[in-house]
Amino acid sequence: MAVLPVVKYPHPMLTTPAKEVMEITDDILELLDDMYETMVANDGIGIAAPQVNQSLRIALVEIDEETGLFEMINPQIIKTSGKTIDVEGCLSFPEIFGTVERADTIVLNYFDRNGDAYEVEAEDYLARVFQHELEHLEGKLFTDKIIQSILPEDLETYMEENIK
């Protein structure tokens, strides 16, 4: 396993829709492992293949041990409901944070590394992270959705004042 370089904005891969994975090969399995190592090494909770310069519809999310790791191949959101605004950041935009409106609850489906199909309903923070990562696969950036920018030095104070 290897830690891959994370591409930073304005790299064109970040704004290019990713290609569907047609077959789960040894290279795809290695990419999943490398993406996980890269996410952990960068203190991330999610990463999408375009962020490691791969135009593939692959994303990983792991917000904590309880929720576990989601390795998603060809994921797609099939239902959304509700709206909520919260703070986001991104490995491809170091030191940029801002509030973004997203669906509060989503249903998505995807394939795992074994080719097994899953349908997951997620809400709140997990739903937010899924949406953020899946937008990377569409070539969309969270910075285009920022309602209020938050300076890195103000992030901790903002979080303390706005935790519900």
Backbone angle region of 45, left / alpha / beta, with phi > 0 → left and psi within -120 to 50 → alpha: alpha
- In angstroms, the CA 71 to CA 8 distance is 22
Those residues with Cβ within 8 angstroms of residue 94's Cβ, 6 or more apart along the chain or in another chain: 8
CA-CA-CA-CA torsion sign (91, 49, 140, 130): negative
DSSP letters spanning 42-92 = TT-SEEEGGGGT--BSEEEE-S-TTT--EEEEEEEEEEEE--EEEEE--TT
- In angstroms, the CA 55 to CA 48 distance is 9
- In angstroms, the CA 88 to CA 69 distance is 20
* 133 is known as an active-site residue: yes
Identified catalytic residue from 133, 135, 156, 160: 133
Catalytic residue IDs: 133
